[in-house]
């Protein structure tokens, strides 16, 4: 009996150590077995300028999604992140269906602060239940991001490559007249010729957004392609209507499809990029999107009663 006790005393610590080691291995495996898109998301978004919340970023990238319709011309994945909205989060007297808000960051590869704002908004949305449903693409132009160029790897300005109805007749002429054939604004060999553009179109068709936010630099304004509306009162950037042009996202979505597009133009290399300041902007734009879409629905349905 004494031998059995001694054997137990000897074996017990070994069993305890073995179980502890197994748990450590399992935890390590769980961390290191993340999907390739999670690793790509973490690697690319960590490179963006400005402060990032590491824990929130891990949550975002753990849920990052990649569809094979979304690859760059060089084959890099263009990932997105979804956050469902909930009617329970609204303070309206009558609960409303969450809007779908689509955010594009870094259409131009040399505008990294646009990706930083998209990252900030995604991280922020991990902390609460939003009223609206969000889909965020922080880096639409990964080739341009790596090359540090406005254009994609085929030297095309993606925001002049959308297949608007007037593209064939006017895109090249507008490029020549407005920019003197500036290479940074080349609209491409044909409408929708670029894989990144086709990815954008796939995202639009798949998500069916009610409202789109496109983030850019460096003009320091907000440009709205949509119905005449009163500008949000507490935004950190002035409100300007810069218009749209052949091949632009604004013309493709608003003028031809009736989906409002708000372009947020940050100051280049945003020196005063405040997370709190631009977190509030997300709330302001969410409210603005709701008001805009409600007004559009009423204008398209004259018999629809106004929301009290």
pLDDT tens for each residue of 21-76: 444 333 334 334 478 999 999 999 999 998 899 999 999 999 999 999 999 999 99
From residue 137, alpha-carbon distances to 52, 59, 107, 180 in Å are: 16, 15, 10, 31
Q: What does DSSP say about strands 219-225 and 261-267: parallel, antiparallel, or unpaired? A: antiparallel
- Alpha-carbon distance values, 272 to 51, 201, 237, 266, 277 (Å): 12, 33, 12, 10, 9
Asked if 121 and 213 sit in the same domain, the reply is: yes
Note whether 188 and 122 are same-domain residues: yes
Residues 27, 157, single domain; the answer is no
Question: Which residues in the chain show pLDDT less than 70?
Answer: 1-33, 87-95, 268-274, 302-308
Domain-located, residue 281: yes
Q: Are residues 206 and 130 in the same domain?
A: yes
- Is it true that the peptide bond before 8 is cis, omega within 30 degrees of 0? no
For residues 202-228, one letter each, b for 16 or more C-beta atoms within 10 angstroms of the residue's C-beta and e for the rest, the string is ebbeebebbbbbbbbbebebbbbbbee
- One domain, residues 179 and 148: yes
Is the separation of the CB atoms in 160 and 178 below 8 Å?
no
Mean pLDDT of the chain: 87
**Same domain assignment for residues 228 and 203:** yes
Q: Please report the pLDDT score of residue 88 as a whole number.
A: 47
Give me the pLDDT at residue 100, please.
98
Neighbours of 75 (CB within 10 A): 10
Residue 194: partners with Cβ closer than 8 Å, 6 or more residues away: 73, 152, 154, 156, 158, 161, 188
Find tokens 């995604």 and name the residue.
122
Q: Domain range holding 85?
A: 35-300
* Three-class DSSP category at 222: strand
* One domain for residues 73 and 178: yes
DSSP classification of residue 77: B
What distance in Å separates the CA atoms of residue 54 and residue 76, rounded to the nearest whole number?
A: 23
Total number of domains constituting the chain = 2
Residue 307 inside a domain? The answer is no
Closest listed residue to residue 195, CA positions, set 141, 235, 127 = 141
* Cα gap 35→38, rounded to integer Å: 5
Are residues 127 and 229 both part of a single domain? Answer: yes
């Amino acid at each position: 009996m004494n031998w059995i006790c001694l054997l137990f005393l000897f074996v017990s610590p070994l069993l305890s150590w073995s179980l502890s080691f197994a748990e450590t291995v399992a935890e390590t495996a769980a961390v290191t077995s993340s999907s390739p898109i999670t690793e790509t998301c973490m690697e690319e978004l960590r490179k963006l300028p400005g402060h990032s919340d590491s824990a929130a970023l891990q949550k975002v990238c753990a849920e990052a999604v990649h569809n094979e319709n979304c690859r760059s011309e060089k084959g890099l994945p263009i990932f997105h992140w979804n956050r469902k909205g909930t009617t329970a989060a609204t303070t309206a007297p009558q609960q409303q269906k969450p809007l779908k808000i689509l955010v594009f960051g870094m259409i131009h590869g040399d505008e990294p602060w646009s990706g930083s704002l998209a990252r900030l908004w995604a991280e922020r949305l991990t902390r609460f239940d939003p009223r609206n449903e969000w889909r965020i693409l922080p880096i639409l132009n990964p080739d341009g991001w790596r090359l540090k160029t406005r254009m994609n790897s085929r030297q095309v300005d993606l925001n002049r490559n959308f297949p608007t109805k007037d593209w064939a007749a006017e895109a090249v002429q507008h490029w020549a007249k407005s920019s003197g054939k500036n290479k940074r604004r080349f609209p491409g060999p044909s409408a929708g010729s670029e894989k990144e553009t086709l990815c954008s179109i796939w995202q639009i068709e798949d998500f069916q957004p009610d409202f789109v936010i496109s983030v850019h630099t460096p003009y320091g304004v907000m440009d709205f392609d949509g119905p005449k509306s009163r500008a949000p009162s507490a935004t950190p950037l002035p409100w300007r209507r810069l218009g749209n042009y052949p091949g632009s996202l604004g013309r493709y979505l608003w003028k031809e499809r009736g989906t409002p597009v708000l372009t947020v133009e940050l100051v280049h290399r945003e020196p005063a990029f405040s997370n709190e300041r631009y977190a509030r902007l997300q709330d302001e734009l969410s409210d603005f999107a709701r008001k805009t879409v409600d007004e559009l629905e009423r204008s398209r349905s004259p018999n629809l009663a106004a929301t009290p």
